């Protein structure tokens, strides 16, 4: 199981990497623009926080084939362990084919149904990012993601799904329960994976009971 964080905020990345076993970080143009810093500075700061084994995903901004390919090559040059995100438009699918032939790793993104993901896998994308919650506006996003995984398995495609656009831990649990191996979570949902008020209440009770007897809140 791969837990990925969907943010470009360096402080949050560092904090969550200290708490959780974070496999990598996903970004997109909106997430990077939110930091209000030059693109190269954002990427450099994230690179300083991540270790060499952690994967960084960065998305192209252009929408035409030629520019997507050019940006994909540039992104691939920024870091050794980096994956280029390309949306599954007609031009994007064409760019995925070209970049894949050049040995550049691709995450096909903005997937809103299983067939989009499947054709991206056929074009050579190593990873697929179905937008689970957005799909839920039209169909069952969790179920559509599971169907995509079944399609990949049936045709022996080793492309990996990274479920994205997740809005609650219930969606995450259902995906993991049904064999989806990777999810990318916004910071608030990542925190909800481990935070629980009932746990805090239990710890407070343990601490208070200890204090009543030993007049301290530490073991020694």
Comparing CA positions, the residue from 49, 31, 100, 46 lying closest to residue 72 is 100
- The pLDDT tens digits for 56-82 are 999 999 999 999 999 999 999 999 999
Instruction: Judge whether 53 counts as a catalytic residue.
Output: no
Q: Which CATH superfamily is domain 2-214 in?
A: Aldolase class I (3.20.20.70)
**DSSP 3-state of 109:** strand
How far apart are the C-alpha atoms of 196 and 93, rounded to whole Å? 42
- The pLDDT tens digits for 135-188 are 998 999 999 999 999 999 999 999 999 999 999 999 999 999 999 999 999 999
Token duo for residue 213? 């007897």
- The pLDDT tens digits for 180-216 are 999 999 999 999 999 999 999 999 999 999 999 999 9
pLDDT band at 43 (very low <50, low <70, confident <90, very high): very high
Comparing CA positions, the residue from 102, 77, 98 lying closest to residue 86 is 98
Of 11, 52, 80, 85, the active-site residue reads: 85
């Amino acid at each position: 199981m791969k837990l990925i964080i969907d943010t470009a905020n360096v402080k949050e990345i560092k904090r969550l990497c200290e708490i959780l076993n974070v496999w990598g970080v996903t970004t997109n143009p909106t997430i990077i623009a939110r930091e209000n810093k030059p693109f190269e500075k954002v990427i450099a700061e994230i690179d300083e926080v991540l270790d060499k084994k952690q994967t960084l995903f960065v998305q192209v901004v252009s929408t035409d084939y030629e520019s997507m390919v050019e940006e994909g090559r540039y992104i691939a040059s920024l870091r050794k362990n980096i994956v280029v995100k390309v949306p599954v438009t007609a031009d994007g699918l064409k760019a995925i084919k070209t970049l894949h032939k050049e040995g550049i790793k691709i995450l096909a993104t903005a997937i809103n149904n299983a067939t989009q993901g499947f054709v991206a896998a056929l074009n050579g994308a190593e990873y697929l990012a179905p937008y689970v919650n957005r799909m839920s506006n039209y169909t069952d996003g969790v179920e559509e993601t599971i169907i995509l995984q079944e399609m990949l398995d049936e045709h022996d495609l080793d492309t990996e799904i990274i479920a994205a656009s997740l809005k609650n831990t219930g969606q995450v649990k259902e995906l993991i329960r049904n064999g989806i191996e990777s999810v990318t979570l916004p910071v608030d949902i990542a925190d909800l994976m481990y935070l629980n008020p009932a746990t805090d209440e239990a710890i407070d009770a343990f601490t208070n009971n200890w204090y009543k007897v030993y007049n301290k809140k530490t073991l020694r």
